[in-house]
Amino acid sequence: MKYICPECNKEYTEDEAEEQDYYCNCQKLLTYEEWTEQEGYYNLRNLSEDEQAKIFLKYREYVEYFEQPCIEELYPDSWLPMWGWVWTFDNTLDEEWAREHINEMAKCGFRIYESDELGIFFGIDGAGYDFYANHWIPLYKARGLKWHDEKSDKVLNNDLIIKANIFKDIIRAEKDQVEPTIQSLLKFKEAYYELLKTWYENDILDQTESLKIYPFHISFDELNVAEWVDSTVEEIQKAYKDIKKEEC
């Protein structure tokens, strides 16, 4: 069993973690001078005695609650990308290319692994942004694939063609997940409407302490969840229909 400090990422064996009472010593208790400088309290001598006393009380509170970060158990799946979602290569040529160009693939933002059972497999440790623009298209270009119009001077158009082909390949490889994905999206839209209705009808949610950690930068009714779901479902269905036509 391995352990890790979430602050400094130092790894420990079970014996080492137990020896330190499961606390890492990567942080030190700041002196009063260091703490005031870190907190931005400058020219203390120019402050009144009352103000200096209040600041010192804050420092004592910091000292009272100071503790080193806890050493946490390192679970095997923590090495995997976010959500634990990974891909493998269908084509041995692609896998051979990956073996010979690990650094180039890593520069495209992929985490790359190898096992006896799967061979090379890889994933993306991220969420909430355009994977195509940041990962798949750079990988496509690094791989030297030519699915786009090389004569076109419009790079944006080429990238859109690349993106569409990559998306079709993903849909083709995961056909059995198309319908469950669509149904999950539609259920999410329905749940969003239900929660939005509830939020309008009472003040319970507005009075919760957890509202402080509300994860969106705009109000709940401005999220355009329904529009996003409808557009996503339409995009998936169109790609799926195109694939079926190509296979006929």
**Amino acid in position 169:** D
Residue 13 CA: distances (Å) to CA of 22, 111, 170, 221, 226: 11, 25, 40, 48, 48
Q: Are 161 and 148 in contact (CB under 8 A)?
A: yes
SS3 227: helix
How far apart CA 111 and CA 223 sit, in angstroms, is: 31
pLDDT at 194 over 70: yes
pLDDT digits (tens, 9 = 90+) for 155-180: 445 566 667 777 888 888 888 999 99
Judged against a pLDDT cut of 90, whether residue 186 lies above it is answered with yes
Residue 194 and residue 236: Cα distance in Å, rounded? 25
CA distances in angstroms from 6 to 16, 27, 69, 247, listed in the order given: 16, 12, 7, 49
What's this model's pTM, rounded to 2 decimal places? Answer: 0.43
Q: Which residue has the higher pLDDT, 146 or 144?
A: 144
pLDDT at 185 over 90: yes
Q: What 3-state class would DSSP assign to 73?
A: strand
Note whether 97 and 143 are within 8 A (CB). Answer: yes
Letter string b/e over residues 228-237, b meaning 16 or more CB atoms within 10 A of that residue's CB: ebeeebeebe
Give, in degrees to the nearest 5, the angle at Cα 234 between 241 and 196.
Answer: 150
Condensed to tens digits (0 to 9), the pLDDT of residues 123-139 reads: 887 777 778 888 888 88
**Helix, strand, coil percent content, the chain, rounded in steps of 5:** 60, 10, 30
Q: Domain boundaries in the chain? A: 2-74, 79-171, 179-236
